[in-house]
Amino acid sequence: MNYTLIIIEKSRIGLIYFNNKLISINMEHSIYKLHDIYLGKISTILPSLDAAFIILNPLSKNGFISFEQLKEKNQFHNIKSNKSILVQITREPIGTKGPSVSCDISLIGKYIILLPFSESVNLTRKVSVEIDKDYSKAISHLLIKPETMGIVTKPSIIQANVDFLIKETRTLTSKWKKIILKSRVLFKPSLVSKRKSFLSKILEDYSAINFQLISVDSFKTAEKTKLILSTVKRFQKKKHVVIEYHPTEYELIKHYLIDIVFTEIMRPRVNLHKGGHIVIEKTEALTTIDVNSGSFTTLNNSRQASLWVNYSAAHEIVKQIRLRNIGGIIIIDFIDSINHLDQIKLLNYINKLTKKDSVKCTIIQMSELGLVEMTRTRYGQSVYDAFSRKCNICNGLGYLTTNLTKINSSTYELILTNIPKFNKKIHDRIQILYN
């Protein structure tokens, strides 16, 4: 198995290749990162939305928190403008929206997650064997749970050394005490605690993969990579890993044609193997995916043909959703299938594919119109948020209007942008026609 990891530390981008095929993309927001803890200041209270905006960084977008979060932590009665509050990033900015934050702070370790504002002991959903659950609960209650705090145990706790678990709990508890002390001496919105660097996180998260090559964007990053690998136990046990560095970020992108790769990934149309294609359209509210049979004429039976194309499309859709890191509501319009048994088979197949995704996916139902409704938890930035911007020509519409009057394009644009100043009669006529 030939795995390659490409890290552009300057842009916080990581790409994983298997046999020269891209299988995963990891990105991180330049300012707001998941699980970072901020001392914020409430700027605007919106009772109609049951929410409030919080200043986290005076030079960037404000955070968004729901009143429900404040009620759960008994802070709702104290809410008022300019009040300081300790929050954690739960969702990175999306499009024009700022980050979502929560008062339910958690400190993430290798095997456990410390919950300072809770006293419960929970297990992650991935733990399914009853014996493992009982062992995890016993270890948590008897040995590692702090008196006034709660914990969530990860599945990997089964292989962990008990002494290490006790040490990790003490480390996280000490970290929380330092956060509290630091937040008390700060007088303005600022970052209180940040998680590990992007380089450390990606190397530790994927330490289970046996990489043959790790390519980075500078000699300094290569040295840091070597240092981190020497401290990660799972990497220490593996064979020799080749660390390749390029003089600059530009040289790395040029060598692996990364800009072309991202251009191809963001194309709406994706061709399927042996015919057919899918079209992916991302909007503010949801993502729609249309499946078309196209030129697929291999099978004579229409039922078999539609089922084959739907199965092929389902496999490609799950792959594209993961690569593009699409989250939120996803609506898929498969080729119409009248047979009820075929519909059930297709739903089961999609469900089986989504279970392999590290991010939680939920298949809701197939509607009466034959549309498959599903949701995927938003985690990090999508490729659209990271590598796209509003079009200056179509103004974000996605289409260019036909110039019926053949008027010069620059004059036409000048008229559109200055309608209120151009001519009141023309402005009124446009308002009447448009409204």
How does pLDDT run across 289-307, given as a tens digit for each residue?
999 887 666 666 777 778 8
User: Which tokens sit at 346?
Assistant: 């297709």
Q: Smallest Cα–Cα separation from 35: which of 120, 119, 92?
A: 92
Cα distance between residue 376 and residue 329, in whole Å: 7
User: Which tokens sit at 352?
Assistant: 């089986």
What are the residue ranges spanned by the domains of the chain?
3-30+197-262, 37-102, 107-170, 267-376, 391-435
Whole-angstrom Cα Rg for the chain: 26
255 and 213 Cβ atoms separated by less than 8 Å: no
Cα distance between residue 412 and residue 251, in whole Å: 41
Terminal-to-terminal C-alpha distance of the chain: 61
Lowest-pLDDT choice from 99-108, 140-149, 158-167: 140-149
Question: Across the chain, what does the average pLDDT equal?
Answer: 80
How confident is the model at residue 435, as a pLDDT? 42
How confident is the model at residue 246, as a pLDDT? 93
How does pLDDT run across 201-257, given as a tens digit for each residue?
888 888 778 888 999 999 999 999 988 888 876 665 556 788 999 998 889 988 888
CB atoms within 10 A of CB 167: 13
How confident is the model at residue 333, as a pLDDT? 92
Cα distance between residue 102 and residue 79, in whole Å: 14
CA dihedral 152→157→158→159, nearest 10 degrees, is 180
How does pLDDT run across 37-82, given as a tens digit for each residue?
999 888 888 877 778 888 888 888 888 888 776 655 555 556 677 7
CATH number of 37-102: 2.40.50.140
Share of the chain above pLDDT 90, in %: 15
204 and 225 Cβ atoms separated by less than 8 Å: no
The strand pairing partners of 15, in sequence order, are 6, 25
The dihedral region occupied by 239, where left means phi > 0, alpha psi between -120 and 50, and beta the remainder, is: beta
Residues 6+ apart with CB under 8 A from 326: 280, 282, 287, 320, 376, 382
pLDDT tier at 288, thresholds 50, 70, 90: very high
Average pLDDT over residues 264-271: 88
Cβ contacts of 27-31, under 8 Å, gap ≥ 24: 27/325, 27/380, 27/381, 27/383, 27/386, 28/198, 28/380, 28/381, 29/92, 29/93, 29/99, 29/380, 29/381, 31/57, 31/60
How does pLDDT run across 118-127, given as a tens digit for each residue?
877 777 665 5
SS3 helix, strand, coil % of the chain, rounded to 5? 40, 25, 35
How confident is the model at residue 434, as a pLDDT? 46
How confident is the model at residue 278, as a pLDDT? 93
The continuous run of DSSP H or E covering 61 comes out as none
Average pLDDT over residues 367-372: 85
How does pLDDT run across 305-323, given as a tens digit for each residue?
788 888 999 999 999 999 9
Distance, CA of 48 to chain centre: 28
Distance, CA of 72 to chain centre: 25
Handedness of CA 281, 383, 17, 231 (dihedral sign): negative
93 and 32 Cβ atoms separated by less than 8 Å: yes
Q: What is the DSSP letter of 94?
A: B
329 and 281 Cβ atoms separated by less than 8 Å: no
User: Which tokens sit at 358?
Assistant: 């590290």
Amino acid in position 300: N
**Which range has highest mean pLDDT (20-29, 75-84, 344-353)?**
344-353
Cα distance between residue 320 and residue 318, in whole Å: 6
How confident is the model at residue 409, as a pLDDT? 54
The continuous run of DSSP H or E covering 425 comes out as helix 424-434
The CATH architecture of the domain made up of 267-376 is 3-Layer(aba) Sandwich (3.40)
How confident is the model at residue 350, as a pLDDT? 92
Place of tokens 């209180």: 192
CB atoms within 10 A of CB 321: 24
Share of the chain above pLDDT 70, in %: 81
Cα distance between residue 314 and residue 333, in whole Å: 11
How confident is the model at residue 234, as a pLDDT? 64
Place of tokens 């392999």: 356
For residue 330, the number of C-alpha atoms closer than 13 Å in the C-beta half-sphere is 27
336 and 309 Cβ atoms separated by less than 8 Å: no
pLDDT tier at 32, thresholds 50, 70, 90: confident
CB-neighbour burial class of residue 44 (10 A; exposed 0-12, middle 13-18, buried 19+) = exposed
How confident is the model at residue 403, as a pLDDT? 57
Average pLDDT over residues 172-177: 90
Q: Smallest Cα–Cα separation from 5: which of 252, 231, 318, 227?
A: 252
How confident is the model at residue 260, as a pLDDT? 84
